[in-house]
Amino acid sequence: MRLRPRQRLRTGAHFDTVFKRGRRLEGRLFLLVAAPNGLPFDRLGLAVSRRAGGAVERNRARRLLRESFRRLDRPPGGGIDLVVVARAGLAGCGQSEVDIELRERVRRLSRPPGPGGAPAPRAG
């Protein structure tokens, strides 16, 4: 089952906006960059480069990530744009591993930035 067009980031400008304004969360399987989008729904953008493997591995990584996004259970309301940058080895993981990591990264978005969920220190 495909994502609806409104659920996808489709232009380079959308990706650029998320990378410039978004919050980055590192993970073992992927880097997640997220930014509010002002819409009532979430959108997904995938960046799966050749570093993630050959064509078969890259396509599997995309399928795993799209399915995890579909399974993501976020409350309705303020939407976010998610850009997921796949790391090497993602294609070798099971669906449940990818689901758990995506769910954990999105859950961490609700915490304020900084170590352990504490607010980031002020400069000055």
Q: How many domains does the chain have?
A: 1
CATH of the domain at 58: 3.30.230.10
Instruction: Please give the residue range of the domain that contains residue 65.
Output: 5-111
Q: What is the mean pLDDT of residues 119-124?
A: 46
User: What's the pLDDT at 77?
Assistant: 72
The answer to the question of residue 121 being in a domain is no
| Residue 114 pLDDT exceeds 70 | no
* Domain membership flag for residue 116: no
Is residue 60 in a domain? Answer: yes
Model confidence over 11-20: pLDDT tens digits? 999 999 999 9
0.85 exceeded by the pTM?
Answer: no
Residue 3: the pLDDT is: 83
User: Is residue 115 very low, low, confident or very high in pLDDT (cuts 50, 70, 90)?
Assistant: low
Residue 117 belongs to some domain of the structure: no
Segment (H or E) for 54: none
pLDDT score for 60:
92
Is position 49 within any domain? yes
pLDDT per residue over 36-90, tens digit each?
A: 998 888 999 999 989 888 999 999 999 999 999 998 877 777 789 999 999 998 9
Judge whether 124 lies within some domain: no
CA distance 50 to 87: 10
Round to whole Å and give the CA distance between 87 and 31: 8
**Domain-located, residue 32:** yes
Whether residue 83 lies inside any domain: the answer is: yes
Number of other residues whose CB lies within 10 A of the CB of residue 5? 8
